[in-house]
Amino acid sequence: MSEQRVKVTIPASTANLGPGFDALGMAFQLYSVVEMEVSEQTTVELVGKELEGTPADKSNLLYQVAAGLFAEAGLAVPELAIRASSDAPLTRGLGSSAAAIVGALVAANQLAGEPFTREELFARATAMEGHPDNVGASMFGGIIVATMPEKAGEPVPYVRFAPPAGLQTLVVIPDFMLETQKARNVLPQVYSKEDVVYNVGHSSLLVAALAQGRLDLMGRAMSDRLHQPYRAKLVPGLNEILDKATEHGAVGAALSGAGPTILCFFSTAEEEGRLRAFVDSVMKGHGITYRVMILQPDENGVQVEIHQR
């Protein structure tokens, strides 16, 4: 077992980008940090207001994921000293659970002597999260296009590419939480062929537009019929922003993951100013308090620092 303290920095992420339901993800320059080392007894130190209310014992997700990795590697599960902080808000659609899973897997894998490759860790993270978009973006950075493997235990098929130059995101974070399960429960079990074909076309166009830097196509390509129309009743203001953001400076807009965070993509300061005013009028019209972040894409993915004890 390693005599090291491992520090892992993990980017937040968004999933879906509109029509790419459970298949498209992008990493942001908004980070969580997980520090981990083998100890005489397990301690979990949580730093910052974003992690308030998270369990600080062995029921914590970070410990659970790390313990599972040691067991999978055929090693005795050690006691661990874990310290975690996050700038990404929980249950807001910015991949906080995915970042935690990726951070714990990468840190524990380092302490275990790296028995698993990054691709194997990605497959394990995807199985835990249930979809590959957020964990893929946090693991590898940039934009990830991925799908679930046909059989359990197989590698996750994915393509990673760099985001378009100059793409920035106005991230609108309402002051309420929305549990992913609740946001999934409002989705129908059956869709019409028309809606499925609509999303296949739009998600395909979106991937091609992002890959070639065609920001002019993003607004049309980000339209969705599989999840955003159904989740709109859970997120006041979403419909107006999706419908009108491109008239107020956005190159495209989408619900971030399961929400309630809303993303408005732009590329110039002039667009940003118009977008801020538009978003403020919509949110105030619904009586929703919120905060805004301007985020750049992260292109590095998870980063590891090793400190000898």
Quick count: other Cβ atoms within 10 Å of Cβ 214? 15
Q: Where in the chain is the domain with CATH 3.30.70.890?
A: 166-293
What is the pLDDT at residue 2?
62
One of 3.40.50.1110, 3.40.50.2300, 3.30.230.10, 3.40.50.300 is the CATH number of 2-160+296-306, namely 3.30.230.10
Residue 123's nearest CA partner among 107, 97, 105 is: 105
32 close to 99: Cβ distance less than 8 angstroms: yes
Q: Where in the chain is the domain with CATH 3.30.230.10?
A: 2-160+296-306
What is the pLDDT at residue 211?
97
Task: Enter the tokens of residue 148.
Answer: 């679930």
Backbone angles phi, psi at 305, to 5 degrees: -120, 140
Rg (CA), the chain: 19
What is the pLDDT at residue 103?
98
What is the pLDDT at residue 88?
84
Could you give the 3-state DSSP secondary structure of residue 146? strand
pLDDT below 70 — which residues of the chain? 1-2, 91, 309
The annotation places the binding site at 89-99
Task: Enter the tokens of residue 290.
Answer: 């919120």
Please tell me the pTM assigned to this model.
Answer: 0.94
The annotation places the binding site for ATP at 89-99
Q: Tell whether domain 166-293 is in CATH 3.30.70.890.
A: yes
